[in-house]
Structure 1
Amino acid sequence: MNRYLPSGGCIVVNPEVQKNTSEARLGTRALRSAQSPVLGLLDFCKGLAIVWIVLIHWRPEWFGWQGVHVFIVLSGFGLTYSCLKRDSDISWKKWYVKRFRKVLPPYWMVCLWGYLILACVYLFEGRNLLQALALPLDVLVNNALLLKLTLLNPTVKVEPNGSLWFIPLIVSFYLAFPWLYQLIAKHKTVRVVLFALFVAIIVEFVYRAIALYWLDGRPIGYAHYSKLFPVLGVPLDKLPTEFRFQHEYAFNFFPSRLGEFAIGMVAAVALVRNPSIFHKVLLNPWMGVLGFLIWLAGNALIYQGFWGWVFADFVIAVGIILWFVNLGSLLQKKLPAFFSKMSELGVWSYYIFLTHYLLVFITQKMDDILTPLFNNSLIGIKVLRVSLFGVIIVGTWITSRILQRFDRSQFSDLIIQQTFAKVWK
């Protein structure tokens, strides 16, 4: 069977050929590339995006958080493309069950790992066993039940896995997708499709303006810029701290990224309906250069304050996907070995996304403990941190494979059967 990641990418999952997994992946990418050059580039884009995300979680003074934009655009693209390629009408109840099967079991497993890690940290800090087991329960429940989709969670707790905010966001897109699909993808005329895209973009801008000007909001990731270049100077904390819908929390909902997601959906419609024009327009060096310039313009908007923040994420998303795709097309020809390795990371991107932050959390705790032992030796501290980054890489590699084994197991199927499948039978 085919397993689609939240970003819309495809992994070939066949237990009978696990020993030939690498060959199967390479064969799948070759087949997709033969069908459409763009489809053969998607894993590369996800691989490059996940590298950015891992790097910024290791050292937060960077713009690598923008890799999330790639996953949002490709999610809209992948979901729409797979639905359009079906001949029969879609059963949305079955669609939801399949979606949740592909996303939630590994997510829940990582939530459990995070709980156990946090309990161990509390034990190390001197709390008794009962306290160590009880204190992280609220984090486990909030994450496992996707409470960031509701107004029930007034604060955003990132420990021990700051990456998990993205899963409620992508699930909120899943909940809205059937409506968006009918609005955008089912219409036959170009004019109506573009009008639907325009409406989605306007909804994003209006929502973000409300979140910024009236709900004390700050887009996710912008704090990284304030650390790198502390010149933002935008007044926050206008509302009482107990106000539930403020700061980054206001941007955990799909309307804040609706335009980005819709761009991916419209791209899928264009690919299915007119592939020759789609590839001619999208895949050319000048479009890559234009995308890079658009991306720079989006980053410049971040420094303009609230009005710039209304538009910045959408502009960044458009630019980054254009230059990522065209960079992938160039490297596929010029550096095929590098392209293949980066595409391999893209295949594993969901598992890497879920697990890497746990290793970042652990190594940060180790850094706090070990750094004082080096007596302010700059060389010793640099060696320590490079070594800890190696721990992150190796640990993520190991945990991603463990998570993949669990995801492919019958136990994961049973979890969904006992929850969503029976309810929506």
Structure 2
Amino acid sequence: MNLQKKHDVIEYVNAPGVFQRQLWVDWMKGIALIWIFINHAVEAVFGGPYLGNPGSWWPPLQERIAQWIPLDGYGVWTIPVNIWRYIGWLGDQGVSLFLVVSGFGLTWGVLSKYKDSFPVDQFYKQRLFRIFPLWWGVHIFFLVASYVTDIKGLDMSLGDPNFYLSLVGFRASPGTFFYFAPAWWYIGLLIQLYLVYPILLEALKRMGAFQFLLFGSLAAFIVRAGVIFFEFKVSSLLYGAFFITRLPEFAFGMAFAWCLRNNAQQVYDLMSSRWTMFISIGLYISGTLLSITWAGMTVAPFMVGVGIFGILYGILGNKKETSSPIAGVFTWVGRHSYSLYLVHHPILAILVPIHALGGTLLSILGSIIGAIGLEKIVNRIVEPLTARLKKYDLKKLVKWTAMAAVVMSICALGFELAIQRFDPQEVIVWGEQPSLAPHDDFGWYLKPNQTTHLRWESYDYYVKSNELGFPGPSYPEQKAPGTIRIMTFGDAFTSAEGVDTDQAWPRLLESVLMTRLPNRKIEVMDFAITGYGPNQYAEVAQTYMPKYHPDIVIVGFYMNDYLDVLQRNDDFRAQIGFGKPSATSWYATLRLSHTRHFLHKRFDEIMNLLREKPDLGGYYSGAEFLLREQKKSDAAGQSGVAERFAQIKAMADAMGARMIVFMIPVPVQVCGPEDIAYYPTGYDLSDESMFDLDKPQRWTQEIASELDIETYDLRTPLQSAPECPYYRNNLHWTVGGHELVADFMAETLIKDKILSMEE
């Protein structure tokens, strides 16, 4: 490829059937986009078809075919609904048409403008200004919208690394491929094709149209066959995560432009013939039928794309300017296809109800209006900026941009290190993860015989573990005569998160009881670990109760245990972050993990001040646990807790121990809006039609009563505290909260004669 030659500009060809502007290009792009739009709307209502985009979730072939049986039950609308569904389900084929037309349009423009040499640098500059200003514009628009609104589906975040990867056009990884707007995967494919286009063009010039299309298609078919037949069934690869898998359609468009440029009349005569139309229809029907099979997907997208193109070119290829309103619509949509493609899917996802036919037509109409309006807004902002940037010398622009990027990177890195030092965030892994290690039976436990300084957000405390990997001191298996041994089980409220191990209520309880019962030897063994739930309580109890023979078994029970009992250890370990880089690693630092988390929280705080909409306050508040609305998981959670309680109770009964459950309240049951930053806004918790303030305790008491287990409600001591016993910006108890709980437990054990003054 000669980059040094003068780039001779020639005039457009003016042969029969070939005009200065190929009008059918805009019409086909408009048809493809409208078809894709219908596809996304229909899939939102009826779900996606088992056609064209295979995945490991595909059922057997018979079920895939059965999906196409017409629907019934819509009265006079039954036939229109089924037609609408079929058109929409086939609409994903518009992507194949888009690729063919894109390959043609790009190559036709290049061949029509440059006679011999091809200015690669100028090409990349044009593509850069064609793609990225609007691409960045929609990212920024939806990013801001995600922060300032509570609209479901708008979840773009500065704290998500996929945002930055998408911003630079990388959408090939599993996390980025369908990020935010699933339809945007196509832009990632288009960018890849633009990057390799100079190589493809040179190959086309040297090989000619036939060999270029033949070898390009064979390479793609081999890759697609490998993905399918070697069981590497990654649907994103078949979609186009890697450009080679969708090269045939694009290459066909390039080859067609080459032929039309060099043999315009012959090409037009061939494409206008009746036989070509029949062959195109046959290709389309065959490709569509093959699209329902794994093996057929090797060649189906190419057949479908070429078939549709042949059909439409036979109809539109010789059309001239027309005043037809329909043609005007297709032309306008085609000429604005890129911007409309970017905005249509997010708008559609917001307005079209999922799996609901009622109101869909109005929603789709609203989506169309919204997409057109948003397209105009974004274009109005982006186009003047793009025009200004084009005036600058590209090398200088790149130079100054690079310098600015370096300065900004240094500042960002400095800010990241400052946050890590003065206000560390909980990122990548749990804040407690440095003190934890995997365990085959329990899932995880504390690293044995270790003191760990944990510091993140509002927490700054030390965790001390014994040789067993649990908090607190060691005790011999054999009790000394006259010793009362208490074993505690629980989660972060008992282990305890946010305060030093020596200040947790199990340690304080032992000290208080020793003071109040000077004639008794008391041992409180803490077997609680942050994140534990009923499954872990029972497993740890089964391991250590027979060894240590407790006299009293105390379970600190928090409402989220009804959810934790449904989780597997592997899921917990993944959340904790075993095997992941630490929160202060180079990985975390270079990703600006603490900065993103810090800014995300600040944005949330500002938005919460600006919003007037209600906010349940997130997980910390516990308000969602008080909602009267029943969840599908409620029954399973209650059943799981009852089963684990029964296991622990049976072990306690077998060794003559008493089992007691102390019910830990959620923060909003104890503290008010002036006490905790995450208190629900816009809700009246006293609204009995919406909230049941006793639900957590009632559930637990009902289960415990069936099993003859004693329960105590820790709202009693905690609500009497002069200050809120929960951290203002976090979930757990302060030192004052642990002191209140320890005093209450000691008083209860003595008052109710669970412990006696004398042996």
Task: Answer whether TM exceeds 0.5 for this pair.
Answer: yes
Q: Are residues 1:209 and 2:206 paired?
A: no
Contact 2:32 2:94 (C-alpha < 8 Å) held by counterparts: yes
Quickly say closer, same or farther: Cα 1:407–1:327, change in 2 above 3 A: farther
Q: Corresponding residue for 1:320?
A: 308
CA distance in 2, matches of 1:133, 1:310: 37
Which of residues 136, 141, 144 in structure 1 aligns to 2:164? 141
CA distance in 1, matches of 2:190, 2:396: 20
Quickly say closer, same or farther: Cα 1:390–1:94, change in 2 above 3 A: same
Shift of 1:43: 0.9
Q: Corresponding residue for 1:75?
A: 102
Shift of 1:174: 0.9
Shift of 1:266: 0.9
Q: Corresponding residue for 2:30?
A: 47
- Taking only aligned residues, the RMSD between alpha carbons, in angstroms, comes to 3.2
CA distance in 1, matches of 2:275, 2:21: 16
Query: After superposition, what is the alpha-carbon deviation per residue over 1:198-222, rounded to whole angstroms, capped at 9, x for unaligned?
Result: 11010010111122233633xxxxx
Structure 1 residue matching 2:178: 3-state secondary structure = coil
| Partner amino acid, structure 2, of 1:74 | V
Shift of 1:59: 1.4
Query: After superposition, what is the alpha-carbon deviation per residue over 1:285-304, rounded to whole angstroms, capped at 9, x for unaligned?
Result: 54234312211100111223
CA distance in 2, matches of 1:132, 1:261: 31
Contact 2:104 2:257 (C-alpha < 8 Å) held by counterparts: yes
Q: Are residues 1:395 and 2:370 paired?
A: yes
Q: Corresponding residue for 1:266?
A: 255
Q: Are residues 1:102 and 2:134 paired?
A: no
Which of residues 189, 192, 204 in structure 2 aligns to 1:184? 204
Contact 2:17 2:268 (C-alpha < 8 Å) held by counterparts: no
| Partner amino acid, structure 2, of 1:147 | F
CA distance in 2, matches of 1:303, 1:197: 25
CA distance in 2, matches of 1:421, 1:208: 42
Q: Are residues 1:197 and 2:213 paired?
A: yes
Q: Corresponding residue for 1:293?
A: 282
Structure 2 residue matching 1:36: 3-state secondary structure = coil
Q: Are residues 1:346 and 2:369 paired?
A: no
Higher RCO (CA < 8 A, seq sep 6+): 1
CA distance in 1, matches of 2:312, 2:367: 25
| Partner amino acid, structure 1, of 2:367 | I
Which of residues 46, 53, 58 in structure 1 aligns to 2:41? 58
Where is the helix percentage greater, Structure 1 or Structure 2? 1
Q: Corresponding residue for 2:699?
A: none
Quickly say closer, same or farther: Cα 1:111–1:87, change in 2 above 3 A: same
Q: Corresponding residue for 2:141?
A: 113
Contact 2:40 2:345 (C-alpha < 8 Å) held by counterparts: yes
Structure 2 residue matching 1:155: 3-state secondary structure = helix
CA distance in 1, matches of 2:98, 2:395: 25
Shift of 1:124: 6.0
Q: Corresponding residue for 2:297?
A: 309
Contact 1:100 1:416 (C-alpha < 8 Å) held by counterparts: no
Quickly say closer, same or farther: Cα 1:302–1:117, change in 2 above 3 A: same
Structure 2 residue matching 1:90: 3-state secondary structure = coil
Query: After superposition, what is the alpha-carbon deviation per residue over 1:374-397, rounded to whole angstroms, capped at 9, x for unaligned?
Result: xxxxxxx75522221121011011
Contact 1:101 1:413 (C-alpha < 8 Å) held by counterparts: no
Query: After superposition, what is the alpha-carbon deviation per residue over 1:91-141, rounded to whole angstroms, capped at 9, x for unaligned?
Result: 2012101111111111111122232343356x468xxxxx98555x33421
Quickly say closer, same or farther: Cα 1:139–1:290, change in 2 above 3 A: same
Contact 1:197 1:259 (C-alpha < 8 Å) held by counterparts: yes
Q: Corresponding residue for 2:266?
A: 277
Q: Corresponding residue for 1:384?
A: 359
Q: Are residues 1:87 and 2:115 paired?
A: yes
Shift of 1:254: 1.1
CA distance in 1, matches of 2:396, 2:217: 34
Contact 1:111 1:144 (C-alpha < 8 Å) held by counterparts: yes
Contact 1:204 1:255 (C-alpha < 8 Å) held by counterparts: yes
Q: Corresponding residue for 1:174?
A: 194
Shift of 1:351: 1.3
Structure 2 residue matching 1:111: 3-state secondary structure = helix
Quickly say closer, same or farther: Cα 1:413–1:174, change in 2 above 3 A: farther
CA distance in 2, matches of 1:108, 1:289: 43
Shift of 1:284: 3.7
Query: After superposition, what is the alpha-carbon deviation per residue over 1:236-263, rounded to whole angstroms, capped at 9, x for unaligned?
Result: xxxxxxxxxx331463111001111111
Quickly say closer, same or farther: Cα 1:34–1:73, change in 2 above 3 A: closer
Q: Corresponding residue for 2:381?
A: 406
Residue identity over aligned pairs, in percent, reads: 21
Contact 1:298 1:316 (C-alpha < 8 Å) held by counterparts: yes
Quickly say closer, same or farther: Cα 1:300–1:124, change in 2 above 3 A: closer
CA distance in 1, matches of 2:258, 2:32: 23
Q: Corresponding residue for 2:348?
A: 360
Structure 1: gaps (5+ residues): 1-30, 126-130, 218-245, 372-380
CA distance in 2, matches of 1:132, 1:258: 30
Q: Corresponding residue for 2:181?
A: 161
CA distance in 1, matches of 2:109, 2:241: 25
Structure 1 residue matching 2:292: 3-state secondary structure = helix
Quickly say closer, same or farther: Cα 1:412–1:247, change in 2 above 3 A: farther
CA distance in 2, matches of 1:89, 1:96: 15
Contact 2:280 2:306 (C-alpha < 8 Å) held by counterparts: yes
Structure 1 residue matching 2:299: 3-state secondary structure = helix
Shift of 1:146: 2.2
Quickly say closer, same or farther: Cα 1:332–1:411, change in 2 above 3 A: closer
CA distance in 1, matches of 2:311, 2:20: 15
| Partner amino acid, structure 2, of 1:362 | I
Give TM-score scaled by structure 2 length. 0.41
Quickly say closer, same or farther: Cα 1:335–1:292, change in 2 above 3 A: farther
